[in-house]
Structure 1
């Protein structure tokens, strides 16, 4: 691997990481030596790339640092195109329109030899057989309330038609092919619950912050879903 490519890959590894990365773990991912990684990290920091850390502790790329979009690889462009196609076909109207806007922006900034991968892609998804209705709920507003960490009061009907009212803490809107699901902490059940958006009979968007950070709720939900080790 050329050094320029390796420096770029180090930045990508640090960008993806959810915490400090040691030189040994970076070296393992790049299949190179730890000594080489130390040298490359020193070179990046000497160029004022905002990397914090030290040997034996780990390294973090500070938020806000970005790379020129022209450095996208063909596979990365295709990943964006494929993801945008799925969103356009399966998400709510606002996100579907946003997916089209993203593709237009990518086409405008990538080099000419990559532009055809956006305009005439070699990746694709089958057209959806049907769109799943969302009922009367505004899915875009559900996403907004999740971002703002505000409570919802919902009137819901389950698969058997049993109705209930409850206050929930929304933190994630899940998109499965043909289905959209609000994932939230339920004050009534004192646990995480899934609510299909087309079964939400009504939603009151409360101006009441819930007491836990959205990121913490998601981590607890993810931990609950992991299979227990025996």
Structure 2
């Protein structure tokens, strides 16, 4: 577990309690050692989080205390809610699940008034089964980008001609209706932006490509800027 996640869960475990919770209980909840709990609590106290208590007695978050990083304005909260809905609709299944889980964590520690405000947001992005995001393709391309997997494509261009390509996938971009996949195309020996909705078939070759400053993401962005797919 990342330290940032652990500190968040530690604060969440303390929030709203009327009685102190022991370090042993916190250690069991977070599945860490007692020493880690003592160190994390001390670090939070030094950073200004109002945790009262001490080792051997227990810890309690001071009544009425709010944790500044989790306090949002109504506009900020609405942006988070709407952003989550758009990610669920357009970001693929994996990121959609992550966005939902993140919002649940945020809402769990919001004051009731702000939690209710998040439920009243009237901007929606309904998921639809006939969109490319529901096909699993965006998730597959995203995974290939993260793992630096060489992909073999059968790709149909704007004129309907199909060609076989081996590509090094670098990035996905969503243009409000169309996705593009930025990649190094081995057939052309150059950067290309492919439209996922024109990919007829795709499969990993089993090869992992190496980071190369001449054809990595930064080089791709410099080469194509905001250009469209080919």
TM-score (structure 1 length as normaliser): 0.58
Q: How does 1:1-230 map to 2 (within 5 A)?
A: 69-121=69-121, 124-125=123-124, 131-133=130-132, 138-212=137-211, 217-226=216-225
The structure whose Rg is larger is: 2
Q: Which runs of 5+ in 2 are unaligned?
A: 1-45, 49-66
Give the Å deviation of 1:162: 0.6
Kept in 2: contact 1:89–1:96 (CA 8 A): yes
Kept in 2: contact 1:149–1:210 (CA 8 A): yes
**Alpha carbons of 1:207 and 1:126: their partners in 2 closer, same or farther (altered >3 Å)?**
closer
Paired with 1:140 and 1:133, the residues of 2 have a C-alpha distance of 10
Kept in 2: contact 1:172–1:184 (CA 8 A): yes
Number of corresponding residues: 162
Kept in 2: contact 1:152–1:167 (CA 8 A): yes
Paired with 2:125 and 2:97, the residues of 1 have a C-alpha distance of 18
Give the Å deviation of 1:109: 2.6
Q: Which runs of 5+ in 1 are unaligned?
A: 1-46, 50-66
